Structure 1
């Protein structure tokens, strides 16, 4: 009973309805004890279903109530709907950049009512922050999986460079990578609200690049942070030329650097 009460006290600050529900359960239990009833504790109170209902009432509402300003809903259908919007926002950001992150576009891509986007993400700033975090989560998971699946063999400098680019900008890379992926990342790094999210994921990306180097027979390249900056710079430089062949030109530049090892 004490443990239950402590849990309610903590939750009541953000969910009065949850505290009220549990208080009702506790009061009923106390009455059974005080009246000396011989029935089992909570018998006839439908305790299990009431607790389950109370759990579903947990809502951390309001702007800023969840991570990156989203509403944190702990309800079966609500969680699914919110996650679909998070996934859709990440995909839109990766494929089209910041301009695609609007409540309407995210709701349509997630297949949910448009009003849901504004409910779960009250501001566009909060929606963008959520999209950046989700996109970086996806990028890191994809980069790690790509690197660890790479067969071990000695690779030429240019081939290794292409693998590094594919890893750094996973889950997919094409000649639009500088505009579609690198430009939004650069913008995020200049934003005081988004920069911490980008910095949080960088060590994992560098670790994935290190795995690529090891599996390509390039373990002697130790300054991976410098190499990652070079990959970004090479893509920006390559994107200043024709729209086609951006990755090839960037791989040539990074390959020239690897030739020195």
Structure 2
């Protein structure tokens, strides 16, 4: 693959990164703080923190929540580089989307056309997104998917919702495996360097073939599931000892929610 082949390079990078994100549970197997917290308690605690995060209309509390999530990532031995990338990209996108509000929101002038109220709104929105993504990232990276599904079943989430979530997760791995095979086949059949124009022309063919294969694979997966008795699935193991990490996490969540109620 050459530098003049952006289609293969982009598709290959997307495939590798997504498969790694979905299938890599090495962080969840580490001996960290959040890894030792019961999945049910962790899920409820993160949801409570998310609710508190989105209720504030000033940048201070979301910034504190973001700092708290970073500290939790350190205590849970989550790679800070990966966590910062997963949190920073959505923050940057949200900042670009909401940046015009710094000028459009009326109020006292801060600098040039930027108003004080507008700058506060932009900062609050961006920090909300960053804190929320950081908390969700911690939940997903420190919890095995099977344990997360088991927690949802423990909380009596409708079976249909849990089943759809489990099937979607597994099928995403299959879909990106198909994309990886297409990219590999495309690379192996090329005997000369492709120009930029040729690469973009072939992108449509690659995308169409990928969609057709994904639909066909989905039909085969559905038939295989029905032949094995349906998609109800099996019960996930939910045995988990309650200890000091659970008590510490519950105390922090309770203190944070109480502080949020008092400051609201």
Q: Which has the higher contact order (CA 8 A, sep 6+)?
A: 2
- Per the normalisation by structure 2, the TM-score is 0.27
